[in-house]
Amino acid sequence: MITVDKLTFEYPGLRALDDVSFTIAAGSITALVGPNGAGKTTLLRCMAALDQPVSGSINIAGIDVLEQPRDCHRIIGYLSDFFGLYQRLTVRQCLHYVARAQGIPESACEPAINDVSRRLHIQDRLENHPSELSRGLRQRVAIAQAIIHKPPVVLLDEPASGLDPEARHKLAELFLDLQAQGMTLLVSSHILAELEAYCTDMLVLRQGRIVEQVAVKAPALLKPFNLLLANPVENLLRLLQSVPDIKVLNCDDKQQALLQIHGDAAQQHQLLKALIALDLPVCEFAPAASNLQDTYLQTIRQQP
């Protein structure tokens, strides 16, 4: 769906993106994360055809972004980190203006406004001016502007900044809703705990380079599991190795091990039965916690 290849971008005297390459699958929600100044905003602006890189290419849904920037604007929705809304217009007028700018015919504007405002739960705010709205509601209006033309790809720069936990939760629900409607999302954020609720992939940028791309919610056929025993067992490693379908990743002592297992919940149940049949005093057999924040911090700390 999205292919970025060897992208390099320079501000005067500063290389902000350095040979950045990655692909994003259709229907995914990718978290774009990295320390301050890593280049996230610059990358999103290049992908939205708002900044011109020195070299490299960006292809979104078959459109060469650098060659066809206007076509690109038709197929993406972009929310800037510092979005602005026209204060003198009502929300309805803001949406109408953007709809027309996106080429939606006059006759189709009202249905488009009704549709997008329903999806963003701002139907009852259409006659308000942006200055009368809370930050969370203004954020929703800005996202409504970004997606009113139903783009297949949505790029969002720090959409959750400044929102309270309730508003962030609603935003997460909205992203899942957009994904369910077939959109592909790339979302930059520092709020990793929220990203985890909806992201399928994570792209880590550091000093203008991609340092990691991981699937966060891969249909994990291979899962790490922690095994903890109530008391030490001699030959634990040998016993575990005798169980089919279990790979022992780590077994440093006689009381606990990190296993890799295959399959679904039914398979996990069978494996637990096999462990108990070996008379192992199992007191814990659970997926090893590995969250987005851990993965991110490990990745960032590993880099020089």
Ligand X SMILES: Nc1ncnc2c1ncn2[C@@H]1O[C@H](COP(=O)(O)OP(=O)(O)OP(=O)(O)O)[C@@H](O)[C@H]1O
Query: Of the two residues 6 and 238, which places its CB atom closer to ligand X in the complex?
Result: 6
252 to 23, 230, 235, 290: CA distances (angstroms)? 38, 16, 11, 20
The site string for ligand X over 241-270 (x = CB under 6 A, - otherwise) reads ------------------------------
Return the CA Rg of the chain: 24
The neighbour count for residue 255, using CB atoms within 10 Å, is 16
Closer Cβ to ligand X, 98 or 205, answer by number? 205
Question: CA 183, 29, 162: angle at the middle one, nearest 5?
Answer: 105
161 touches ligand X by CB under 6 A: no
CB of 145 to ligand X, least distance (A): 21
Closer of 18 and 71 to ligand X (Cβ): 18
Cβ burial of 111 (10 Å; 0-12, 13-18, 19+) is exposed
**134-153 residues near ligand X, rule: CB under 6 A:** none
Under 8 Å CB-to-CB from 253, ≥6 apart: which residues? 232, 236
Residue showing tokens 């990358």: 43
16 contacts ligand X (rule: CB under 6 A): yes
Beta-bridge partner residues of 237: none
Decide if residue 159 touches ligand X (CB under 6 A).
Answer: no
How many degrees, rounded to 5, is the angle at CA 183 between CA 181 and CA 186? Answer: 140
Among 3, 6, 14, 241, binds ligand X (CB under 6 A): 14
CB of 96 to ligand X, least distance (A): 31
First to last CA, the chain: 32
Question: To the nearest whole angstrom, how small is the minimum distance from the Cβ of residue 259 to ligand X?
Answer: 38
User: Of 11, 105, 106, 279, which lies in the binding site for ligand X, with binding defined by CB under 6 A?
Assistant: 11
Please, what is the minimum distance in Å from the beta carbon of residue 282 to ligand X? 44
The 3-state DSSP composition of the chain as helix, strand, coil percent (nearest 5) reads 35, 30, 35
The rounded Cα 147 to chain-centroid distance in angstroms is 17
Write down the H helix ranges in the chain.
40-47, 69-75, 91-101, 106-119, 135-147, 165-180, 192-198, 236-241, 265-277, 292-302
Q: Does 228 bind ligand X (CB under 6 A)?
A: no
Asked if residue 284 lies in contact with residue 228, where contact means CB atoms within 8 angstroms, the answer is: yes
Give whichever of 56 and 263 is closer to ligand X, judged by the CB atom. Answer: 56
The nearest distance, CB 154 to ligand X, in angstroms, is 17
- Positions 22 through 51 that interact with ligand X (CB under 6 A): 34, 36-42
Minimum separation from the CB atom of position 293 to ligand X (A) = 16
Q: Residue 41 or residue 184: which is nearer to ligand X going by CB?
A: 41
CB 285 within 8 A of CB 295: no
Binding-site size, ligand X (CB under 6 A) = 11
Distance CA 7, CA 36 (A): 19
Q: How far is the CB of 225 from ligand X (least distance, A)?
A: 35
User: Least distance to ligand X from the beta carbon of 299, Å?
Assistant: 15
Closer to ligand X by Cβ: residue 241 or 303: 303
- Closer of 41 and 179 to ligand X (Cβ): 41
Of 11 and 106, which has the nearer Cβ to ligand X?
A: 11
Question: Which residues are at the interface with ligand X (CB under 6 A)?
Answer: 11, 14, 16, 34, 36-42
